[in-house]
Structure 1
Amino acid sequence: MTADTSSDESPTQSAKPTLLRNAEVSPGHHADVRVASGRIVAVGNALISIRGEEVVNARGGALLPGLHDHHLHLTALAAVEMSVACGPPNVRDAATLGVALRNRAAALPPGAWVRGIGYHESVAGLLDRHQLDVLTGDRPVRVQHRGGALWIVNSAAAAMLGLDTVSIDAPPGIERDGAGRSTGRLWRLDGWLRRRLDAVGAVEPEPDLARVGRRLAAYGITGVTDATPDMTPGTLRLLLSAVRDGRLPQSLLLLGVDSLPSDISTDRVRLGPRKLLPPDHVPWPYDNLLTRIRTARGTGPVVPRPVAVHCVTLEGLVVAVTALEEAGVVPGDRIEHAAVAPPALAAQMAALGLRVVTQPGFVAERGDAYRRDADPGDLPYLYPYASLLSAGVPTVASSDAPFGSPDPWAVLRAARDRLAPDGVPLGPTESVSASTALAGMLSPPLRPGDALRSIGPGAPADLCLLHAPRAVALDEPSADLVRMTFCDGRIVHV
């Protein structure tokens, strides 16, 4: 069978051996590539077709070793499809927010919770339960701030969660007013909230991971690093099940769990560095962070285990780097975001051997808001990329989806152009070439920023075939260029 993927004749999830003819396997170098049993088994010129294999004429299109998103949140991305957009550009004032939430409530079964995402205080200030009560009534509602650190619930939801019951076991992230009553704001309590929702029997649809898998495959993404912190056992079971049955075809690196089940039946799920999530503006005391780093070293199959420390403020980065230096850096230690990183800190991170996973897409999506709201002293060092590389810090781009767009090609454009939504550059000296940003996405999941994975015999058949050569794709990066995606040798997008 000869497949011409300009049409949709080839089925997805095909596990047939495949021969890709005339693919650009490296810049300017073309070859035939045979895929079978989840691996690349041959690369050469004029390979002879084998009976029963699918033959694809690549027509000189680039064959890449599959894009890897080094930081996203899978179940949160899936939940976006079932949530109400609560911030710009969809919602810009309180009245529109109320309409959106009430319309969603009317479309759900009685008793089901309404879930909102992407809220920003430019809509109606820093929401609390009382403002949400006015907007939503007595249906339980939870709304997540755009930054991901804050959930706000209304009084109906607060009552179901037991937020007004002062308990010695209550986590400190439950914000309270002067009278000790919950304001409805929950800071850095994703895991706790998930467990409480399960405990009270909150009615919420299960995340559609198959839809997420298809969307990522359409971008050419064959692997992801899920950076969800302190993942609940239920979420872990959901992800493992989705990988096992193929709903989620991508390979998976997990940061937010201490261990995997001993009976796990797939090698496409691995543990990465242990995610540590200090609060942004009231960070853990230094000794607390130091203890957490040392504790994390003892988890996982590789001891000492590296850590991935969340840092979006200058103060947080200073504390994290200092604590890592005292604890002793191990290979694989990394900083998530490094949203504000001046040159002195970049030099210190380089000397310690730390890596950075950054999000240039935020500049394209929020740059004008950063210019308006961020500390002016931070703006020159906001989401740096070029300066980190120049200092010797291995740095790669990621999406942080759903807090940013999951489209890696949009991230490439953002890394290169550094254009805010208003068209004005933000930190143009931090621009890197699309080729540099792509190289980060093609680097090993456990060693982001190291040498690119390659197309060669024995390599995993996690592949992305483009309609055009690499030079053309890098000139105008677009998801429309993705022609075919293989995960573990299966065609999962065509």
Structure 2
Amino acid sequence: MSPAPALLIRDAELQSGARVDVRLAAGRIEHIAPGLQPRDGEAVIEARGRALSVGLHDHHLHLMAHAAALESLPCGNPVIGCVTGFAELLLMRARMEDPTAPGWIRGVGYHEGVAGPIDRRWLDAVAPRVPVRIQHRSGRLWILNTCALRRLGVDENDTESNRETPLERIDGRLTGRLFDGDDWLRARLAGTYPSLARTSETLARLGVTGVTDAGARNGRSEFAHFVAERRDGRLKQDVLVMGSAELDRLADAPGIRVGPTKLYLRDAELPPFEDFCHAIARSHAARRPVAIHCVTRGELIFATAALRQCGPMRGDRIEHASVAPPEALELLRDLNLTVVTQPHFVLERGDSYLDEVAPEDLPWLYRGRGFVQAGIPLAAGTDAPCGDLNPWTTMAAAVSRRTRKGSLIGPDEALSPAEALALFTGDANDPGGPARGIESGAPADLCLLDRSWEAALGDLAAVGVDATIKDGRAIWRRG
């Protein structure tokens, strides 16, 4: 790519309150001062006193899953709302498909609050002639109808071969429920990776110039896909790629870098402790920190015990830390671990949490203030498509701590608006560290908001972005 042409942003407000002009050249911030005059041929953006921020970095999302979700049917509350609405939506979509040469109906974000614990028979009653697969909100469960099972080559009567699959059987009959079977499903679908263009454009509209892809299964082929999408211009953001040991010996590419090893824990199926310690030690030996998925008390205690046994490495981090009671904070602090959390789940899922989460755990859900006061580096990611891709919504949720119905969860965990913004302005390799600044010589990754800093920090959820600049180029401008 040719060097970015010079660009002048005039009369922008910095977070300090200063009103300045900012000149960008060769992908960097060249000069910051009031009263700069345009050079011949230099593009100009008139900020007119609007707030200028560093470009946001989403520290935990799933790019390809989000791209696939854009082509999928949303199946969760509050989109559907009730069992009748869900059935009608599926039926309408099924009628749109040609049963002589059908594609898939792919649903995402399902939760039992919509229509209960649905299974193959339920889907068959609604859409018997089109292959349907519905992903649960947790990401760990797919529900498939009979047509889908046949499309995947599953023989109902071949109990011997089916014994090796993660498909659930009750009384010898397939229920259509597939637990933790993404690898099995991916191998049978044998599909190509999705274009990231729509997801990248949405991120650019939100002021995001970089992301961390948190896929535990990311390997050579996924990394190559990110590189190709970035090279060909469909992916505008930089990507730090978490993933498996396959990434250990890969070289960074322009805009695409190898990140931590992602390790996944589940309370119901914890690995042998020594095996987990070995996985951490192997990653550290490869000079890669680890990022450990922890959503329960038990998983967090298990993870910190293993890191204490192995010895932590700079950059080790805990993903989600969904339940972090006071005794866990001391462990996290002593090990110098970073937490990357999702406070918007209090907004998006909080009303369900009030019914489903043990009362003693509710105060410690997706904490904010507690981590900050304990001196634990804290950053955030949207976990899209499991959560809303909009980081401004996440920031607002970190401040309000309210559910969609207005209930408060952990009000003492609320952050200030400036602290909430900082969740998305740290460096990709140092989430929770010092926020990146707008200063001479820094990368020209910026976003121009549609309002002043006072107005933006007063209502983060309402913030819009007028321009997003990556490497000195405008990758999105309003209008």
TM-score normalised to the size of structure 1? 0.89
Cα offset, 1:149, TM superposition: 1.9
Give per-residue Cα distances to partners, 1:399-436, cap 9 Å, x unaligned: 11111111111111100000111111111011111110
Separation in structure 1 between the aligned mates of residue 11 and residue 248 of structure 2, nearest angstrom: 42
Secondary structure of 1:123 counterpart: helix
Does the 8 Å CA contact 1:144/1:150 hold for their aligned counterparts?
A: yes
Answering whether residue 121 of structure 2 is matched by residue 134 of structure 1, we say no
Cα offset, 1:172, TM superposition: 6.9
Secondary structure of 2:109 counterpart: strand
Cα offset, 1:395, TM superposition: 1.1
Residue 488 (structure 1) aligns with? 471
Separation in structure 1 between the aligned mates of residue 392 and residue 135 of structure 2, nearest angstrom: 26
How do residues 205-244 of structure 1 correspond to structure 2 at under 5 angstroms?
Answer: 207-231=194-218, 234-244=221-231
Does the 8 Å CA contact 2:451/2:463 hold for their aligned counterparts?
A: no
Does the 8 Å CA contact 2:223/2:241 hold for their aligned counterparts?
A: no
Residue 43 (structure 2) aligns with? 54
Match of 1:451 among 410, 429, 434: 434
Residue 391 (structure 2) aligns with? 408
Separation in structure 2 between the aligned mates of residue 171 and residue 399 of structure 1, nearest angstrom: 35
Separation in structure 2 between the aligned mates of residue 136 and residue 175 of structure 1, nearest angstrom: 20
Secondary structure of 1:451 counterpart: strand
Deviates more, 1:231-240 or 1:309-318: 231-240
Secondary structure of 1:216 counterpart: helix
Residue 118 (structure 1) aligns with? 109
What is the root-mean-square deviation of aligned Cα atoms in Å?
A: 2.5
Match of 1:309 among 292, 297, 302: 292
* 1:171–1:304 distance in 2 versus 1, CA, 3 Å: farther
Give per-residue Cα distances to partners, 1:274-321, cap 9 Å, x unaligned: 1112235333332332232233334xxxx3311111111111111111
Residue 28 (structure 2) aligns with? 39
Question: 1:210 is aligned with what amino acid?
Answer: A
Secondary structure of 1:35 counterpart: strand
Deviates more, 1:31-40 or 1:264-273: 264-273
* 1:493–1:336 distance in 2 versus 1, CA, 3 Å: same
Separation in structure 2 between the aligned mates of residue 229 and residue 397 of structure 1, nearest angstrom: 18
TM-score normalised to the size of structure 2? 0.91
Residue 176 (structure 1) aligns with? 169
Secondary structure of 1:118 counterpart: strand
Question: 2:19 is aligned with what amino acid?
Answer: H
Cα offset, 1:186, TM superposition: 2.3
Deviates more, 1:111-120 or 1:35-44: 35-44
Cα offset, 1:260, TM superposition: 5.5
Answering whether residue 327 of structure 2 is matched by residue 336 of structure 1, we say no
Does the 8 Å CA contact 1:281/1:313 hold for their aligned counterparts?
A: no
Does the 8 Å CA contact 1:14/1:492 hold for their aligned counterparts?
A: no
Separation in structure 2 between the aligned mates of residue 111 and residue 232 of structure 1, nearest angstrom: 31
Match of 1:268 among 248, 255, 258: 255
Percentage identity across aligned positions? 42
Question: 2:354 is aligned with what amino acid?
Answer: R
Residue 178 (structure 2) aligns with? 186
* 1:259–1:37 distance in 2 versus 1, CA, 3 Å: farther
Question: 1:397 is aligned with what amino acid?
Answer: A
Residue 370 (structure 2) aligns with? 387
Separation in structure 2 between the aligned mates of residue 344 and residue 263 of structure 1, nearest angstrom: 38
Does the 8 Å CA contact 1:150/1:185 hold for their aligned counterparts?
A: yes
Cα offset, 1:177, TM superposition: 3.0
Match of 2:12 among 12, 18, 23: 23
Cα offset, 1:479, TM superposition: 5.6
Cα offset, 1:371, TM superposition: 0.3
Residue 355 (structure 2) aligns with? 372
Answering whether residue 64 of structure 2 is matched by residue 75 of structure 1, we say yes
Does the 8 Å CA contact 1:70/1:398 hold for their aligned counterparts?
A: yes
Does the 8 Å CA contact 1:467/1:481 hold for their aligned counterparts?
A: yes
Residue 3 (structure 1) aligns with? none
Does the 8 Å CA contact 2:133/2:148 hold for their aligned counterparts?
A: yes
How do residues 272-287 of structure 1 correspond to structure 2 at under 5 angstroms?
Answer: 272-287=259-274
Does the 8 Å CA contact 2:3/2:26 hold for their aligned counterparts?
A: no
Does the 8 Å CA contact 1:195/1:232 hold for their aligned counterparts?
A: no
* 1:183–1:296 distance in 2 versus 1, CA, 3 Å: farther
In the alignment, structure 1 segments of 5+ residues that lack a partner are 1-12
Does the 8 Å CA contact 1:34/1:42 hold for their aligned counterparts?
A: yes
* 1:456–1:157 distance in 2 versus 1, CA, 3 Å: same
Cα offset, 1:87, TM superposition: 2.0
Question: 2:239 is aligned with what amino acid?
Answer: L
How many residues are treated as equivalent by the alignment?
A: 472
* 1:478–1:423 distance in 2 versus 1, CA, 3 Å: closer
Residue 7 (structure 1) aligns with? none
Residue 404 (structure 2) aligns with? 421
* 1:329–1:260 distance in 2 versus 1, CA, 3 Å: closer
Separation in structure 1 between the aligned mates of residue 277 and residue 252 of structure 2, nearest angstrom: 35
In the alignment, structure 2 segments of 5+ residues that lack a partner are none
Secondary structure of 2:135 counterpart: strand
Secondary structure of 1:448 counterpart: strand
Residue 76 (structure 2) aligns with? 87
Does the 8 Å CA contact 1:275/1:307 hold for their aligned counterparts?
A: yes
Secondary structure of 1:273 counterpart: strand
